[in-house]
Amino acid sequence: MSRTSRLSLAMAGWFVAAVATITACGPPRAQVTPLPVLAIGDSVMALAVPPLQADGITVDARASRQFKAAIPIVHLYAAEHRLPKVVVVHLGSNGPVGPAICDALVATVGARRLIFMNLNLHGLRSWEAPNNAVIAACARRHHDALIDWKKASAGKPWFAPDRIHLNAAGTRAYASLVRAAV
């Protein structure tokens, strides 16, 4: 077999492999245009990262995150000129939230739109009701929005066996509520 024939055969094989790969992968996915939204949360939000990101929302969520951790996160995004016009905060699952910390977060966010999200821990944590009261009062005091996750998720089959974290249906419902609020 001549060198040209071997090269032609190799090229034909490569072409078939390339077409098979493209066909197997399907058409290119549509680009998601990032929304001017930053969502800050703990492990509850972290489970909903895929559907939130699919909606173009930037998510900064980590397990065991305390409410006060949102303040340096907002500072960091602002210092990097990446703090968008809308900030969603769903924190408070991991410990008590005080009014002064909530007010400090509002001041740090500044003139941007701030949307709080309250908690549904199914009464498994002693700080759930007090935190929801602090978050609601803070939102009212500063004329910020509040997503009532407690009410929206009450009685829904959206939770993992621990009744705090979300299952697949819960992550989709969670992301839908956030998307509707922004």
CATH number at residue 91: 3.40.50.1110
Residues 50, 107 within the same domain:
yes
Residues 73, 25 within the same domain:
no
Residue 164 has pLDDT above 60, yes or no: yes
Residues 24, 91 within the same domain:
no
First-to-last C-alpha distance (Å) of the chain? 65
| Full-model pTM | 0.82
Residue 94: closest CA among 139, 53, 63: 63
Residues 52, 23 within the same domain:
no
Q: Indicate the number of domains in the chain.
A: 2
109 is in which domain, residue-wise?
37-181
Per-residue model confidence (pLDDT) at position 12: 36
Q: Taking all residues of the chain, what is their mean pLDDT, rounded to a whole number?
A: 87
Residues 24, 63 within the same domain:
no
Residues 43, 66 within the same domain:
yes
Q: Which residues contact 179 (CB under 8 A, 6 or more apart)?
A: 52, 55, 57
Residue 127: closest CA among 116, 114, 118: 118
Task: Provide the CB-side half-sphere exposure for 1 (13 A, CA).
Answer: 7
Residues 13, 58 within the same domain:
no
Residues 58, 92 within the same domain:
yes
Using one digit for the tens of pLDDT, what is the confidence trace for 62-110?
A: 999 999 999 999 999 999 999 999 999 999 999 999 999 999 999 999 9
Residues 50, 19 within the same domain:
no
